[in-house]
Structure formats: structure tokens, C-alpha cells
């Protein structure tokens, strides 16, 4: 029989922080804080294994669970001097979820469990405060009815607002004990009407109802969506934490709050957070009341008139500062803490490694290393590579005119422009239509997760810096302005009103999540500059990684951006992209329509100067770094017109008949172009194309070397080969051009000729091909298509179902299929190196910027990865982490 329940409290615990897989993050950290002797209300954790067993056994519990829960409850009762269900001295508990990975706002919580018509009187008498007791009871009815019984939250909110209107008050704190008694009666009537039965009075029934609701909530749509977005396996399950209640709503000496040991937006080393006097925890994160600042410095910066915790509760504040220092030193990371003050005593309800922006993560990692809490190598591992994307988004140009219409809290940095949408469905529709939008809500809830994901940024009229909108937006790397109280949102009318300005759905606004400003219309943006902590951490990463990071770039703009981001060369230049510009497309079409080789050469001669200049610019920008240029790859029909109108226009401009143009289009038409007349097949059938491109490459290399004084290393890549003979035929033409250019210019031409391994047969025959190929670049986009028999353009219709059902672990076009496509790469590496030990090996598909795929590339021994310019920083960091992981693995072997 396994152990299903682990207790904590009174300075000791049965668990510890290393047991997060079993106890969940929350339960493991509650146990750890108890072991550290911190003030933690006693309680117990029902393990994640119960959740797994629950779903494996038709939603039934293990036979031993009930007895273990009863024993744990008795232990909590002894520590608190109370009894669960005792009508005179009741023990009240909270029931919270806690998966091993943090899922903010995704799972459901119930507070004040154990209250009923009898125990509420005992609570009132014991506290000497009937108002507090009935306020707690109405909160419990609201939460329990919503989470467990499925009664909509708004039903209770409407009853409360209606009652306050009748009483002529606006704040909850203006209601007294008798008011809450009447509202409790109204709430119970709502439950009876909506649920069809009375609100449960038995404490035992309440507890098991709440435990079941937590496990059930693991499979609700919003939890599934969050797991999907954050790659959290369904099999992990959630734990349930049952803990003795402490009350922040017992009057002006009580409070509740959320605090970070460092600023989660900037990384500044300063206590950061919010609290509310005479409130319960859900009030802070739900955004129903606007919270107060914890520190006096933050209050002054926010220009708030409400007292800070530092001033209002100095003793509790001092204790919080002591604890935050202890926890950060113990966990060696920034902590996100929840606390409650009950009648002047501080209680810790949770600590966890805090979510943070990429900017903050960089600063925190670098600062922690400087402070000696972690090593530089640990700092490298602290940053999620994909999170660096947050740093690469535009910010508002300081020179741009700002038509500020409102200001709120700077909840998540960055800036975004888009059309206004008022609900998540419209946000998703806008994204599908490729229209950028800003999700505008009074406050967000977990149900809005898909809309937040679809939008460019989020604006809310309620809520603080730790509200749902703020926390989720920071995690997604999206700009967010919260607590924008001057804005009025009317969902029914579909309008946003502020200071006499009325905007409707579809109107464009800009939000600045770094300042909290909301601006009218579209505002000029600036590309980000990377320095400071970014440069420091990247320097540490570059010192430990063993793979080079190149970029896929076809234009000078892309090449310059990639160099600024630290690219160490170009791993893929797609020459066909250059053919569509200006007059070039005319010459390309002349070449396609030519009747013989002489006609083709004549047309190609017009393209040569353009190609030479293109390549010279790339060589100059890369300044001696390697540049891999792929010969023409796509089928020729892609360069011809498609519609009747285009055919007429092209025929007229070129002075050819429409019939001739249509005949050529018919000749080149293919049923499956991806596997058709393309790649090296073009160079074999029309060698003059490869000759022109090779000449352009080599002449450009000579030109750039003379102009810059830096040596040029050009790598000519032959695409889509599956035999050595194909490669050799094309290579012979390339070598001939190199010799000709060298003789004509009197300059040595330094170059290599290699191929793209993008067909399964090429991977299998890599040994043969390596006899003459000097480098391989694995083109994993096409290798995935040909290995899996999946068209990248058509896969969206079924890939979602494949990943949801576990047939594929991830979209194979985003993260490499290591078992299948990866095995072909591994074979290609091993057989290529067996013949040519010094062969240069890289990857140039989209996988070159995916951290998981980069780790695989490290494992199989590639020399470099190549990715889009804006993913170069991600690849640099991921390559460093992969190198460190490989080194650690080798040490353990």
C-alpha cells in the first residue's frame, strides 16, 4: 500500500521541496517552509498519484485514502486546538490544487471550508466579530457553489451588487454583520434555485466535494489549454492541499497579499507586491479590489494615497522582509510568496520560483551569479531560451507622438498595436484572419487564456500587478496594462470610453506595457537593442557552447539583423528569393521561355549582375564568416504567372504570345511539385543556371575580399540530391566556374561544395556522397516531409489531433521527430564522418531555432545550427545549455 497523504506544520513536515513530482509545487514548498521553521498554517497534501489513480479507475479514490485524510485532519486539529465539523470550536480549511508545474489561475480554490449554519455562529463567537464570520460564510458559499456545484459566480455578484444599491453603499467593507446574514440567506436560495438542492451543511461532504472538484478541474478546458500552451503533460496530475484557514478579513489588523522577492518585470532587487487590509487571498489576485503597495517606495512611485504595508503594518512588514531574505537564499532564486496576516500575525501560505519576464530573468540570473548564490553556468540554465523572444519585440519610438488617452499599471513590458476586441472568441477570429488585436477586458479570468494567446496585448480596467492578466501576460511575453480605472468598457454596446473619447470594436489602439499608457491609434515602434545583462549572459553562453550558430538570410537586412544578434555566418541563403525583385523576374521568365540553351544563357546574363551584387553584400556584411548559398531549388513554374490577367500582362510586357506562355506553363505543371522538377534536377537539366549562380558567387567573393580586405569563405550548396552521381555532375560545373573566375581575376577562390541532406536516401547513402561533398546541411523541413509522408502545407488539418492523442509528441515541423527524422540525421552524420572525418555538418531547417531540436543536434555532433535572424539569440543560449547538459551527462557516465 502506498502513502497517499503527507502532513506539514509546527516546524516539521513529512515531505520536502525535492518531492514536487509527488506533492506538486505548492505542497512541496509548504513542506519545505515548515521544515525551515517558518509560520505555515498546518495541513496536508494529497499526492499527484491519487489524481492519476482517480482517472485510471473511473474517477474513484484509492481505498485507503479516506482513512489517511481523516488521520491527517485530526493531526491538524490537534495543532490548532480545533475539530473539523465541531459545532462549538470548528476547524476551517482551505482546499487548493498544486501541480508540479505552476499553473496560475488554472485550477480552482475553496476557502473557509467547514462553515455551515451552525459553525458560523461558533466562528462569530470565538472571534467576537459576527461581521467577519458571515463575510467568510458568504465567500465560502460563493466559491464552493461555483467550483463544486457549478453555479455561475455572477449570480452571487449580481445579488451582492443589487443589495449594495438598495443600501446605498458602494464598497463591501461598508456592509455589516446583518447585511452579510441576509446575503447568506439570498446566496443559499440562489444555490437551491440553480443547483436544485440545498447548500451542503456537512463538513465531511463539503471536504470530499472540494477534493473531487480539484481533481476534476485538472481536465477542464482552460487547464487543458494552459497545459497545451506550456507543454505540461496530462499524466503529471495535480495534488490537493488542505490547510487550516488563517483569516485576513478579521478587521484592520488583518490582511492578505502577494509579494515577489524581486521585481518580476525588471528584475530589480527589491520587495515587490501588493496587499489588501481586511481581505482574503482571492481578493488580491482576482482584481475585484485595487490592492495597496507593500513598500513605501512603491507607493510613492505609484502616487497612491492608500498606505503601504511598510507604514500600516510595520511589524508584519519587517517579518515579511526577514522571511523573503531567508527564502531567496534557501531556494537561490526569486520567490513568489502568498501571505496572510491574522490579527497582527504573519502566516506564509505559499512560495514558489516566481514567473518573470525575459528581461527580469536575465537580470535576476546575472545578479544572483554576481551575488554568489549561483554559478555562471547555473545562470545560463536559468533562462528559458524561447523566452528571449520577449526581448525581440518592438517598443514605442520615444520620438513618436503619443496621444495618451488613459494610464494604468505597467503589468507586462513591451508595446503592441492592434484593433480592439472585447472577448476571446473575437481575438481568435482576428488572429485567424491575420489581423492584430488588443484584448480589452474589465478583468481577465482563466477562461480568457485562448484570447490572451491570440492577441498582441491585453488591457484591463481592474486588477493589479499580480492579477490574472498581469501574471499570464508576463508568462506569455505579451504587453499588458492592468488596473486602467478611468476606462469604461461596455461589452453589450461593444465600446471603450475614456475622458469623452468613445472607441468601438475594430478601432486601433496601442498599449505600452512598460509605462502603463494606452494610446490612440497606431504608434511608431523601435526594434529592440540588446545589451547589459543580455550581453553578459550571452557572453557566458558563448564561452561554453561548442556548436556555432548561423542564420538563414537572403537579404542584407536579414543578414545585418542576424549579425547584431550574434550570428556566426549564414547557414542558408535561398537564392530563389532574389529572383522575384524588380526587373529580375522578367529575365527569369525570359530564361524559362527560351527555346534553347543559348536563349537561356542570354537571359541568365541579365540576372548575373544582380546575383553578384546580392552575394557581394552578404559577404561584406558577414566579414569573413562562412556563407552557405543554395543553388536554385524551387520548380520553375513558381516564377510564371498564375491568373489569366497575370498571363495577359506578362505576355504583353515580354512581347510573347499568350499561347506560348500557356504552353510553357502546361509543360512545367506538376501534380506534386515538392517531389518534382526542382533542386539539383534543374542544374542537371539546365546546367547554365548553376553555372551563372556559381560565377556570381565567386565573382562576388573576389569583389568583397578586395573591398573589405577580409577573406571570404563561400560554401556552395547543391539541393535535393539523392545520389553521389547527381552531386558530382553539378559539382563539376561549380568547380569549372571557380577555375574560370580565378583565372579571369587573378585571385584565388576559396570555396567548398556541399549538399543539403533532405531526402531519406541521401541520409542512407551519406557515405557515398561524402566522398566528394565537403559539407552536409540537413534540410529538416523537407526531410520531415519526405520521411513522414506529410505535407507541411496541409498538415494543420490533422497534426493537432496527432499531438493531442500522443501519436506525435510535438508538431514535427516545429520540433524535430527524433525517433524517425532524427534517426536519419544520425545515420547521415555517422556515415558521412566515417568517410570524411572533417566533414562540416549543420542543420538549416526551422528546427535550427528550436531549443529541443538544438539539444538533439548537440547530441548527434553537428558543428552548427542555422535559424532565422530573430531566433539567433535563442539558438545561442539553447546551444550553451545543450553543451552543459552533454558535459554533465559525460561526467556521470
- The residues annotated with a catalytic role in the active site are 468, 844
Question: Which residues, other chains included, contact 18 with Cβ-Cβ below 8 Å and sequence gap of 6+?
Answer: 28
Contacts of 86 (CB under 8 A, 6+ apart): 119, 122
Nearest by Cα to 447 from 219, 220, 235, 290: 220
The distance of Cα 362 from the centroid of its chain, to the nearest Å, equals 16
Rounded Cα gap, residues 824 and 729, in angstroms: 25
CB atoms within 10 A of CB 160: 19
CA angle 247, 472, 520 (to 5 degrees): 115
**For 658-797, where are the E strands, in sequence order?**
714-718, 751-757, 775-778
CA–CA gap between residue 338 and residue 348 (Å, rounded): 6
Phi, psi of 699 (to 5 degrees): -65, -40
Distance CA 821, CA 815 (A): 11
**Comparing C-alpha atoms, which of 26, 189, 43, 166 is closest to residue 107?**
26
Written in H, E and C, the secondary structure of 66-114 is HHHHHHHHHHHHHHHCCECCCCCCECCEEEEEEECCCCCCCCCCEEEEC
Residue 60, burial from CB neighbour count under 10 angstroms (0-12, 13-18, 19+): exposed
With b meaning 16 or more CB within 10 Å and e meaning fewer, what string describes 133-143?
bbbbbbbbbbb
Instruction: Give the total residue count for the chain.
Output: 893
CB atoms within 10 A of CB 773: 27
Look at residue 6 and give its three-state secondary structure: strand
Contacts of 429 (CB under 8 A, 6+ apart): none
666-693 as b/e: b if 16+ CB within 10 A:
eebeeeeeeeeebbbbbbbebbbbbbbb
- Secondary structure class of 253 (helix, strand, coil): coil
Q: Name residues whose C-beta falls within 8 Å of residue 718's C-beta, 6 or more positions apart in sequence.
A: 631, 679, 680, 683, 726, 727, 730, 731, 734, 753, 754, 755, 756
Integer CA distances (angstroms), 134 to 118, 183, 209, 302, 492, in order: 11, 9, 22, 34, 34
SS3 content of the chain, % helix, strand, coil (to 5): 50, 15, 35
First to last CA, the chain: 35
| CB 30 within 8 Å of CB 12 | no
Amino acid at each position: 500500500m502506498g502513502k497517499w497523504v503527507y502532513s506539514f506544520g509546527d516546524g516539521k513536515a513529512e515531505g520536502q521541496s525535492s518531492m514536487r513530482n509527488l506533492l506538486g509545487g505548492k505542497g512541496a514548498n509548504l513542506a519545505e517552509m515548515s521544515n525551515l521553521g517558518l509560520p505555515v498554517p498546518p495541513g496536508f497534501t494529497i499526492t499527484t498519484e491519487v489524481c492519476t489513480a482517480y482517472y485510471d479507475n473511473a474517477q474513484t479514490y484509492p481505498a485507503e485514502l479516506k482513512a489517511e485524510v481523516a488521520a491527517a485532519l485530526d493531526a491538524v486539529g490537534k495543532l490548532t486546538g480545533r475539530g473539523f465539523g465541531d459545532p462549538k470550536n470548528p476547524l476551517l480549511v482551505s482546499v487548493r490544487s498544486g501541480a508540479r508545474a505552476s499553473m496560475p489561475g488554472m485550477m480552482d480554490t475553496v476557502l473557509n471550508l467547514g462553515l455551515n449554519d451552525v459553525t458560523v455562529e461558533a466562528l462569530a463567537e470565538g472571534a467576537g466579530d459576527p461581521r467577519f464570520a458571515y463575510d467568510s460564510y458568504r465567500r465560502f458559499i460563493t466559491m464552493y457553489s461555483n467550483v463544486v456545484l457549478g453555479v455561475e459566480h455572477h449570480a452571487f455578484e449580481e445579488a451582492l451588487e443589487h443589495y449594495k444599491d438598495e443600501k446605498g453603499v458602494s464598497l463591501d467593507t461598508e456592509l455589516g454583520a446583518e447585511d452579510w446574514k441576509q446575503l447568506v440567506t439570498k446566496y443559499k436560495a440562489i444555490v437551491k434555485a440553480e443547483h436544485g438542492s440545498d447548500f451542503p451543511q456537512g463538513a465531511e461532504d463539503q471536504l470530499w466535494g472540494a477534493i473531487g472538484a480539484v481533481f476534476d478541474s485538472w481536465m477542464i478546458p482552460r487547464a487543458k489549454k494552459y497545459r497545451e500552451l506550456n507543454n505540461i503533460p496530462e499524466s503529471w496530475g495535480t495534488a490537493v492541499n488542505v490547510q487550516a484557514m488563517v483569516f485576513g478579513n478579521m478587521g484592520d489588523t488583518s490582511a492578505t497579499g502577494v509579494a515577489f522577492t524581486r521585481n518580476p518585470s525588471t528584475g530589480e532587487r527589491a520587495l515587490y507586491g501588493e496587499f489588501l487590509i481586511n481581505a482574503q487571498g482571492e481578493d488580491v489576485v482576482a482584481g475585484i479590489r485595487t490592492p495597496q503597495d507593500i513598500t513605501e517606495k512603491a507607493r510613492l512611485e505609484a502616487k497612491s494615497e492608500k498606505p503601504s504595508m511598510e507604514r500600516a503594518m510595520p511589524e508584519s512588514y519587517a517579518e515579511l522582509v526577514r522571511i523573503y531574505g531567508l527564502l531567496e537564499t534557501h531556494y537561490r532564486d526569486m520567490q513568489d510568496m502568498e501571505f496572510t496576516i491574522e490579527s497582527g500575525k504573519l502566516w506564509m501560505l505559499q512560495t514558489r520560483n516566481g514567473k518573470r519576464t525575459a528581461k527580469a530573468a536575465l537580470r535576476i540570473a546575472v545578479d544572483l551569479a554576481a551575488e554568489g548564490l549561483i554559478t555562471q553556468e547555473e545562470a545560463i540554465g536559468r533562462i528559458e531560451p524561447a523566452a528571449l523572444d520577449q526581448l525581440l519585440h518592438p517598443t514605442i519610438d520615444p520620438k513618436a507622438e503619443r496621444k495618451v488617452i488613459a494610464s494604468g499599471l505597467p503589468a507586462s513590458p513591451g508595446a503592441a498595436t492592434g484593433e480592439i476586441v472585447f472577448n476571446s472568441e473575437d481575438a481568435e477570429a482576428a488572429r485567424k484572419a491575420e489581423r492584430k488585436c488588443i484584448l480589452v477586458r474589465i478583468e481577465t479570468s482563466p477562461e480568457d487564456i485562448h484570447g490572451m494567446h491570440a492577441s498582441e496585448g491585453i488591457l484591463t480596467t481592474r486588477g493589479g500587478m499580480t492579477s490574472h492578466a498581469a501574471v499570464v501576460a508576463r508568462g506569455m511575453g505579451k504587453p499588458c496594462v492592468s488596473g486602467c480605472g478611468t476606462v469604461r468598457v461596455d461589452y453589450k454596446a461593444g465600446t471603450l470610453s475614456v475622458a469623452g473619447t468613445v472607441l468601438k470594436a475594430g478601432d486601433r489602439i496601442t498599449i505600452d506595457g512598460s509605462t502603463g499608457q494606452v494610446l490612440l491609434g497606431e504608434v511608431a515602434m523601435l526594434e529592440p537593442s540588446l545589451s547589459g545583462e543580455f550581453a553578459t549572459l550571452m557572453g557566458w553562453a558563448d564561452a561554453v557552447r561548442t556548436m556555432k550558430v548561423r542564420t538563414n538570410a537572403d537579404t542584407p537586412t536579414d543578414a545585418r539583423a542576424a549579425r547584431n544578434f550574434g550570428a556566426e555566418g549564414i547557414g542558408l541563403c535561398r537564392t530563389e528569393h532574389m529572383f522575384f525583385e524588380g526587373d529580375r523576374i522578367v529575365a527569369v521568365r525570359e530564361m524559362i521561355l527560351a527555346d534553347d540553351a543559348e536563349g537561356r544563357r542570354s537571359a541568365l546574363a541579365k540576372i548575373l549582375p544582380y546575383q553578384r551584387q546580392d552575394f557581394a553584400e552578404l559577404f561584406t556584411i558577414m566579414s569573413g564568416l562562412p556563407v552557405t548559398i543554395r543553388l536554385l531549388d524551387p520548380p520553375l513554374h513558381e516564377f510564371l504567372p498564375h491568373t489569366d490577367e497575370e498571363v495577359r500582362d506578362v505576355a504583353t510586357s515580354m512581347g510573347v504570345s499568350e499561347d506560348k506562355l500557356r504552353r510553357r506553363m502546361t509543360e512545367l505543371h506538376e501534380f506534386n511539385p515538392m517531389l518534382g522538377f526542382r533542386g539539383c534536377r534543374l542544374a542537371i537539366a539546365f546546367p547554365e543556371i548553376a553555372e551563372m549562380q556559381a560565377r556570381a558567387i565567386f565573382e562576388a567573393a573576389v569583389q568583397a575580399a578586395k573591398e573589405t580586405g577580409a577573406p571570404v569563405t563561400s560554401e556552395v550548396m547543391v539541393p535535393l540530391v539523392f545520389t553521389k552521381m547527381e552531386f558530382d555532375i553539378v559539382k563539376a560545373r561549380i568547380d569549372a566556374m571557380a577555375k574560370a573566375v580565378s583565372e579571369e581575376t587573378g585571385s584565388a577562390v576559396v570555396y567548398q561544395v556541399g549538399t543539403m541532406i533532405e531526402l531519406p536516401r541521401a541520409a542512407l547513402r551519406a557515405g557515398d556522397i561524402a566522398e566528394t561533398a565537403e559539407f552536409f546541411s540537413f534540410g529538416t523541413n523537407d526531410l520531415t516531409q519526405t520521411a513522414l509522408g506529410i505535407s507541411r502545407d496541409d498538415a494543420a488539418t490533422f497534426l493537432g489531433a496527432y499531438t493531442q492523442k500522443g501519436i506525435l509528441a510535438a508538431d514535427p515541423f516545429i520540433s524535430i521527430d527524433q525517433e524517425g527524422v532524427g534517426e536519419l540525421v544520425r545515420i547521415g552524420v555517422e556515415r558521412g564522418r566515417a568517410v570524411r572525418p572533417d566533414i562540416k555538418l549543420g542543420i538549416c531547417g526551422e528546427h535550427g531555432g528550436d531549443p529541443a531540436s538544438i539539444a538533439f543536434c548537440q547530441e548527434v555532433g553537428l558543428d552548427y545550427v542555422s535559424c532565422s535572424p530573430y531566433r539567433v539569440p535563442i539558438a545561442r543560449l539553447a546551444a550553451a545549455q545543450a553543451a552543459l547538459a552533454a558535459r554533465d551527462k559525460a561526467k556521470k557516465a
